[in-house]
Amino acid sequence: MSLISSEMPQKLLAWYEVHRRDLPWRRDPTPYRVWVSEVMLQQTQVDTVIPYYQRFLSRFPELADLARARLEEVLPLWSGLGYYRRARDLHAAARKISSEHGGQFPRDRDQVLALPGIGPYTAGAVLSLAFNLPEPVLDGNVERVLTRLLALPGNPRQSANVRRLREEARGLIPAGRAGDFNQALMELGALICLPLGPRCLDCPLAGLCRARRRGQPERFPEKKPAKKTVPVSLAVLVIERDGKLLLENRPPALEGGQPAYLRGLWNFPALEVEDPEQPPYQLSEAIRARWGAAIRISCRLGSARHSITFRKITLHVWRGEVDGHPSPASKTRPGRVPHLAWRWARPEELGSRYAVPSLAWKVLGLLQKPFSGPRGSAAFPKKPPGKPARAAPPDPESGRPP
C-alpha cells in the first residue's frame, strides 16, 4: 500500500504538459534515439549532452549505422564526454541487436538487460519512453523526488530501499502514460526538486510531500558516507617531432605502461610512479625497447590534477626529445591488431581522429609555449564542447570505472 497520494500522477502530468523542455531525444522517441540519449545522460548533464547527441545522431542516424561502424569511428564522437566504457558498450550492443534481434531493439525486459552496458535504469527508460511499457525508471532525480514524497529514511541506494522505490514508481504509472509519466518525474527532479534549494513553491506535488511537511525537504535523501579516494602520481611524457605528438594505444588486456583505467584510448605515454620528482626513465626506456628510438627527457613541464572515479591523480608532465627520425615499429592500424600501437598525431587530431582521455587536455594545457608545428604555428586543439558532469562517479549500471 503506497503512502503517496493517488492524485500524484495527474498533478505531475498536468505540470509536465506546461513545463517540459523541448529536448532533442523527446522528438521522435524511437528506441535507438532514447537509448543513445539515456546512455549519454547517465553521468553527464543535459546541456553538455545536447551537442554530443546531435553530432552522434547525424553521424549514426539509425542503429544499423552504428552497428556497421568500426569502434574507432565511434570513440572520437565521445571525446570530452568521458566514460568511454559507455561508448564501447553502446557499439557492442548495437552489433548484438543487429545479429541477434534482426536490427530491432528488443521489447522484452530480459533481452534488453542481456545487452552490454544496459542495467535496470536504461532498460526501464527505453521500454517506457520508447515503447510506453509500464516499467519504472530510478535515476538520481527520480530517487530524490520519491524519497522526499515518502520522507524515506536511510540510504536510498540500499537494496531494500531500491526495491521499495521501484515498486512505488511502478505502482504510480498511469495506464497508457508510462513514457510521459517517467519523463515528468525526471523533469521535476531536474527543474524543481533540486538537491539543494528545492523550489517547493513551484512544485505541483508540494501538498503531497512528506519531507516538505516536516519542513526539511533537503534532508532527504539522507547522505551516503563519502567514498574513500586514492592518490595516484602519474608520470606523462610529451614527445614531439615535426609538429606531431607521440601517442600510444595500449589495449586493456596488455599489462604494463598505461594504467588499466587509461588503456584502450590514445594517450601520451604514461606510467604510475612512486617518486614523482624523478624523471620517468622507465617510460623512455620502454619506448626505446619498443622501437629503438632514444628518448632524452629534457625538462619538466609541470603538474596538474585530475580525478577518475575514486582516483585523485596528480599528473607530472615531462618533455622528451627524440633523437633522429625513427618511425614507430608497430604499423598497426587503430583497432585492427590487439596489441600496442604508436602514432605521431597532429595536435588537432586529438579528440577528433584519436579518442583521448580527458586528462590529455590538461597535459596539452601545460605546453604553454606555442606549439612548434611544421609552420611554427600554435596549433593546439581545444577540448571538445562540454565537460563531464562530475569528477567521476562509477558507472551507475555496472559500478565499473569508465
Residues involved in catalysis: 38
Q: Which amino acid is at 10?
A: Q
Least gap, CB of 24 to ligand ADE (angstroms): 10
Site residues (CB under 6 A) for ligand ADE, limited to 86-105: none
Distance of CA 241 to the CA centre of its chain: 32
User: Which residue number, 184 or 265, has a Cβ lying nearer to ligand ADE?
Assistant: 184
Residue 366 sits in the site that holds ligand ADE (CB under 6 A):
no
Cα(173)–Cα(170) distance, integer angstroms? 6
Closer residue to ligand ADE (CB): 24 or 243:
24
Q: Is 256 left (phi over 0), alpha (psi -120 to 50) or beta?
A: left
Count of residues touching ligand ADE (by CB under 6 A) = 8
Q: Which CB atom, from 190 or from 340, has the smaller least distance to ligand ADE? A: 190
Q: Closest separation between CB of residue 34 and ligand ADE, Å?
A: 7
* Joined grid coordinates for residue 251: 589495449
The reply to whether 38 sits near ligand ADE by the rule CB under 6 A is yes
Q: Least distance (Å) from ligand ADE to the CB of residue 29?
A: 9
Separation between Cα atoms, residue 22 and residue 82, nearest integer Å: 25
Residue bearing cell 568511454: 84
Beta-bridge partner residues of 306: 313
How far apart are CB 213 and ligand ADE at their closest, in Å? 27
Residue 129 and residue 321: Cα distance in Å, rounded? 54
Closest separation in Å from C-beta 139 to ligand ADE: 6
> In this structure, are strands 230-241 and 311-322 parallel, antiparallel, or unpaired?
parallel
Print the binding letters for residues 371-400 with ligand ADE: x by CB under 6 A, - otherwise.
------------------------------
21 versus 70: smaller Cβ distance to ligand ADE: 21
Nearer to ligand ADE, 16 or 371 (CB): 16
Q: Rounded to the nearest whole angstrom, what is the least distance from the CB of residue 183 to ligand ADE in the complex? A: 6
- 34 alpha carbon, distance to own chain's centre: 16
Note the Cα 119 to chain centre separation in Å: 15
CA dist., res. 380 & res. 245, Å (int): 11
Which is nearer to ligand ADE, 38 or 248 (by Cβ)? Answer: 38
Of residues 36 and 41, the one with the C-beta less far from ligand ADE: 41
Check binding of 143 to ligand ADE (CB under 6 A).
Answer: no
The conformational region for residue 375 under phi > 0 = left, psi -120 to 50 = alpha, else beta, is alpha
- 186 is a contact residue toward ligand ADE (CB under 6 A): yes
Q: How many CB atoms lie within 10 A of CB 10?
A: 13
Q: Write down the least CB distance from residue 14 to ligand ADE, Å.
A: 19
- Measured at the alpha carbon of residue 140, what is the angle toward residues 134 and 141, in degrees to the nearest 5? 75
**Residue 200 near ligand ADE by CB under 6 A:** no
Q: What's the min distance (Å) between Cβ of 218 and ligand ADE?
A: 21
Q: 213: part of which helix (H) or strand (E)? A: helix 210-213
Q: Does 190 bind ligand ADE (CB under 6 A)?
A: yes
Q: Closest residue to ligand ADE, Cβ-based?
A: 41
Question: What residues from 40 to 79 belong to the interface with ligand ADE (CB under 6 A)?
Answer: 41, 46
Looking only at the bridges linking them, the beta strands covering 244-249 and 341-345 are antiparallel
Q: Give the length of the chain.
A: 402
CA 228 → CA 168, 309, 311, 312, 392, distances in Å?
32, 10, 9, 10, 13
The three-state secondary structure class of 149 is helix
Query: Which range of residues in 68-76, 183-191, 202-210, 227-235 is near ligand ADE by CB under 6 A?
Result: 183-191
Q: What is the sign, positive or negative, of the torsion defined by CA atoms of 342, 388, 26, 9?
A: positive
Residue 363 is a binding residue for ligand ADE (CB under 6 A)? no
User: Site map for ligand ADE, 123-142, x if CB under 6 A?
Assistant: ----------------x---
Looking at the Cβ atoms of 126 and 247, the one nearer to ligand ADE is 126
Q: Which residues bind ligand ADE (CB under 6 A)?
A: 23, 38, 41, 46, 139, 183, 186, 190
